[in-house]
Structure 1
Amino acid sequence: MGTVGNSTDGIAGERRQLINVAYRLLGSASEAEDAVQDAYAHWYGLPRSRREEILSPGAWLTTVTGRICLDLLGSARARRERYVGAWLPEPLPDRAEWDHAGGSDPADQIVLDESVVMAFLVVLESMTPAERVAFVLHDVFRYPFAEIADVLGRTPAACKQLAASARRRAGVARAPVTATDRADVVRDVKEAWETKDIAALVGLLDPAAVMTADGGGAVGTVLRPVEGGERIAQYMVAIADRAPGLELLERSVNGVPGLVARHAGVVMTVASFDVGDGCVTRIWVVRNPEKLRPWTRRG
């Protein structure tokens, strides 16, 4: 899992990679940062003689981070049962689009690619913890099963089976949607939403579209998914009616075109879209303020 020099600089240089691994495993930048900090605490808690014996500190840190994430995923199920409404992964801004200096936020360390789009992260949520770890480490980061076995405490053959099972859960990939096509659809949704044009929204939404919202019990939102293009369109217009002065911005969300709703300069909502055959099939709306922290103090 990568060999680095056994030095303080080499160890510190692993942090970005570890945060990228942990975010894909946990779906939360803040929890990923905590997991990585915990792994570093384990490293520095080792006697110096033990650290000097470890030939690949990067591999050691990845293994420990993976185990910490595995434990967190195991306990997440109970936490989700207590969560108010639907739980969605934490959305990530594109730091190039926002006035945010320094890059100290863990979200700024995460590479935005196809393995962090909301649709993919939601699929990862359907996997067992062991499947998710095996799948992410092997299929996304290309770690060999022999090394993944150290994380999961299973044989390489068992890890290979877990990844195959996870792949089946992920399903058959659809034809890719170009960034331009996706941006065009999202822009049309924005314009129809701003003008409260229900007919136009219905035309942009798949008749079987589903909208899921995450308010975490901290802000008002629907607690169950809204199903059907017409019902979603009516709900979106009702939101616009209740929130005069809401500003909609076209912004990248987890690396693909999405919408950000701002009121008085404060980000209130981040919406992600799945697009197929020229229309929206899924909408994921995050309103939980705890999950919008990476979007604060940005412009």
Structure 2
Amino acid sequence: MTSLSPLRLERFVKQRDDFRLGPIDVVLEPGLTYALVGPNGSGKTTLLKCLMNLMKPTSGKLEIFGHTYEREEQAIKTQTAFVPDPLDGCEPFTLWQMRDFIGGWYASWDDDDFARRAASFRIPLDKRYGKMSQGERKKAALTLALSTHAPLLLLDEPTNGLDIASRNRLKQMLVEDAEIMERTVLLSTHSVEDIRQFADCILLLRNGALEGPYEKDALSASWRRLWLTGEALPSLADIPGAVEWSEVPFPQLVTCDRTATLAFLSENGIQITKEQPLPLDELLDRLLEKSAR
């Protein structure tokens, strides 16, 4: 294990034609899983490719476990594994052959572990990657990346093409790995279920700007829908944390700060008749709308 941050970006910028990613300042903590969330074209894949040095940043600082690509690219590559979407250039090779290419880079590579993961995902080892289905290709890429035991795992849409059983096997592998190693995972996804199942923290990316990280459980605890009753209900602007108000069919509001809202309502004698957490998809939509303002 290491005390160094798995990833640190300072004033990081990538300019591509008329699209600008950044400036981004973020530090990831060891052992957590971060979901990178944003609409199409927000820069998620561009960011992951920059983190793997497949694209060069325009300016700013990028450190992985304290290393920079300018000085220590090999050290970074041996501590990082990447699952792109798709995995291009491997069409002529079988999974066994790809193991030969990749396994030698990682001191912690274990052929028995690799074979176990491939069997769990039910991937044929002697089938050429170009002949595999979309789901088999994704499982092959995940098998290779997870078998490296790299302490930083970068996943671009990791469950695209996976059936329910394979998604569950991926979750089981990540849970099992967490018991024996301190691994940080950064995954880009459009899937609410991915975020629900895998993420500890959420990073919001919209129009090249990054917000967060936000703790997923803290967000769920803070964002609530409340139904109210009382003699004289205040206006939305007077209620701390309130972001939306409706009187139909019953007085209700949505708050992004449950604690502050409840304290205000209690002080003003307003009762809560019902309370619900926001569904995760609605919560994320509201966060992205908020970050766009």
Q: Same fold (TM over 0.5)?
A: no
Scaled by the length of structure 1, the TM-score of the pair is 0.21
Structure with the greater alpha carbon radius of gyration: 2
Scaled by the length of structure 2, the TM-score of the pair is 0.21
